[in-house]
Amino acid sequence: MKKVLVTGGSGLVGYGIRSIQQDYPNYDFIFLSSKDANLTDYTETCKIFELHKPNYVIHLAANVGGLFKNMTFPVEMFEDNLMMNYNIVKCCDRYDVDRAVLFLSTCIFPDKTTYPIDETMLHNGPPHFSNAGYAYAKRIMETHSSVYNKSYHNQSPKFVNLIPTNIYGPNDNYNLANAHVMPALIHKCYLAKQNNTPFTVAGTGKPLRQFIYSLDVAKLIVWSLENYHDFEPLIVSPGEEDEISIGDIAQYIAHEFDMNQIEFDTSKPDGQYKKTASNKKLRSLYPEFCFTNIQDGIRDSVKWFIENHDHARL
């Protein structure tokens, strides 16, 4: 049985992997949270690897948040992720891990680019200013792991870099000050329903995003452990035709709460207008994979939040 160490195991995607782990009896998943170790500290990170001796690593842990967190705490977003990612890559090599899946994000792609973006365009220009700290830390992790692959693992890569689009689902971070757009909207709509007030959406609602359900991401991560052998990163996303506006997402969420009043606060920034990503490469490798419909995913996500509100991350 393969030991699989999952950092960030208490987060959104970690919860997704927990939810499907029974489908993979050949893997012994070990889920870490921030309570188990400070991964920005190299000595503590080494101790975790020495304790568990993993065959595989899935690195999900990150200092992560939405637009406003990125703009408010750029130093922390850069330094925390830089140190954490360095330590994980270094330990994967030092302790001879067989495979490691590292998590990037489409927000790290160049701001000025052509669409759709694909895996070859990652370093073609600077990312959007609003999340530069986080984006550059993630780019450096991709570069760090790539030089290891090319220097020591040039027959088959030890490190796999996955690039998901906007992830949503049960057990997200719903803190209104630093959540991503989907969980923030779910929490806002919940409060509006409770308080009988309008559901207010920051910005115009016009920006476009591709959303992927967390359990779909979990399945693709586990698939990639054994089935993805390319040195290039892999975009993990529904197709371009599934791109949807923030305004439409708000409408779907409002429908689940039986809310009719939606207001857009246009004094708030929109962030990057679009980040359209191509999943052509993923489709060529895994054509039979079926993505969760966005309305079904939102229905399940809202249901989870309502049922688990008292112990959700607010």
Alpha-carbon torsion (107, 112, 116, 120), positive or negative: negative
**Rg value, the chain, Cα:** 19
Candidates 15, 56, 86, 134; catalytic one: 134
Sketch out the chain's domains with CATH numbers.
Answer: 2-169+210-242+276-293 (3.40.50.720)
d(CA 54, CA 92): 9
Contacts 24+ apart (CB under 8 A), 176-184: 176/314, 177/68, 177/69, 178/65, 178/66, 178/68, 178/69, 179/65, 179/66, 180/64, 180/65, 180/66, 181/66, 181/67, 181/209, 181/246, 181/249, 182/211, 182/249, 182/298, 182/301, 183/301, 183/305, 184/66
d(CA 249, CA 295): 9
Instruction: Write the DSSP symbol of residue 108.
Output: G
pLDDT of residue 222: 97
12-16, 141-145, 258-262: lowest mean pLDDT where?
258-262
Answer whether 31's CB lies under 8 Å from 6's CB.
yes
pTM of the model: 0.93
pLDDT of residue 279: 96
Q: How many CA atoms lie within 13 A of 278 on its CB side?
A: 13
For 191-210, what is each residue's pLDDT tens digit?
A: 999 999 999 999 999 999 99
* Average pLDDT over every residue of 52-72: 90
CB proximity list for 126: less than 8 A, separation 6 or greater? 110, 111, 132
For 69-92, what is each residue's pLDDT tens digit?
A: 888 899 999 999 999 999 999 999
* Average pLDDT over every residue of 12-38: 96
74-94 helix and 132-152 helix, angle to the nearest 10 degrees: 20
**Known catalytic residue: 134?**
yes
pLDDT of residue 306: 96
Amino acid at the residue 27: Y
**In the structure, what pLDDT confidence band is assigned to residue 310 with cuts at 50, 70 and 90?**
very high
d(CA 251, CA 264): 12
